[in-house]
Amino acid sequence: MRSRYSAFVLGNLDYLRDSWHASTRPAVIDPLPAGLRWLGLEVRRHATQDAASATVEFVARSKLDGRTSRLHEISRFVREDGRWYYLDGEIR
């Protein structure tokens, strides 16, 4: 989760695409809006369901055009060939 947040901060869309599971990965990842600033990430909890699946609850804060916002999500990850991939998330 932290590596994906860092990719958002840096605008590294290639990493976001590569760390997204092939079954749910969008065909195109739109560039982030110009002027978007990420303000912080709080990982609230994480849980491993088994060796190949886990969830992470987080809140990410950002600012755009003078307005702050929060993204509160419970993300699901799957592990394949020793690597974790973002599967999907439920916005809270």
The CATH code that applies to domain 2-91 is 3.10.450.50
| Residue 89 binned pLDDT confidence (cut-offs 50, 70, 90) | very high
pTM given for the model? 0.92
State how far the alpha carbon of 62 is from the alpha carbons of 9, 28, 57, 58, 89, in Å: 10, 22, 17, 13, 18
| pLDDT for residue 1 | 85
| pLDDT for residue 65 | 97
Give the domain ranges of the chain: 2-91
**Helices marked H in 11-81:** 13-18
pLDDT tens per residue across span 1-57: 899 999 999 999 999 999 999 999 999 999 999 999 999 999 999 999 999 999 999
